[in-house]
Amino acid sequence: MISAIVLAAGKSRRMGVEKLLLPLEGKPLVAHIVDEVLESPVDEVLVVVGSNQAQIEQALSGRRARLIVSPDARGEMLSSVRCGVAAASEECQAALVVLGDQPGISAGLIADLVRAFRSGGKGIVAPAYGGKRGHPILFSMKYRDEVLSSYDDVGLRGLSRAHPGDVLEIPASTADVLEDIDVPEDYRRLLRRKML
């Protein structure tokens, strides 16, 4: 069983508005991303939210996703990852960590990651483009306790650094795996690309 953990608890401070609710192709950004995850071969979808719970819940209405409220409203990304890992089903074999503000991810990319995890013999799978690792990242739940207790200073990338021999990179066809939406110009650039 593979559990997807969509990180949606951020404060959107640099954007100035709740970026996960910005429209993309007729629906809120977070709904666009969750829909891609739901179309992929994962078994459950957990969406970690913070003080934006009511807004995200409304944006995802009717979707087969379970909202998990992070108790650490001011926490960094790792605290949201931990919240999702702790809430994952007991049958979960691997967690797929998805950024809630990464509009370029696709169900196909996630399927590639899942396939690589199941056949590649490695405990950590990540897409790479131009020599850089991106997101989403998938890791075996054999690392559950480690993720829950370590890497406070470096975040989840500390897991890959601690186990370089257990990492499988799969080539991504675009730089979408490296790009998320943080500031208004990121969003404007995204809209320009969608119009081409």
pLDDT of residue 14: 66
| 132: enclosing H helix or E strand | strand 132-133
Nearest Cα to 92, choosing from 84, 101, 104?
A: 84
pLDDT of residue 34: 97
- Contact call for residues 40 and 79 (beta carbons, < 8 A): no
Residue 25 has pLDDT above 90, yes or no: no
| Structural domains of the chain, count | 1
pLDDT of residue 178: 92
* Residue 154 pLDDT class (50, 70, 90 cuts): very high
Place of tokens 């990651």: 113
pLDDT of residue 130: 95
* Residue 128 pLDDT class (50, 70, 90 cuts): very high
Listed range (35-49, 58-72, 96-110, 174-188) with the worst mean pLDDT:
174-188
Q: Which residue has the higher pLDDT, 5 or 11?
A: 5
Q: 36: domain CATH number?
A: 3.90.550.10
Please tell me the pTM assigned to this model. Answer: 0.93
Q: What is the mean pLDDT of residues 23-33?
A: 92
Domain extent for 91: 2-195
Mean pLDDT of the chain: 92
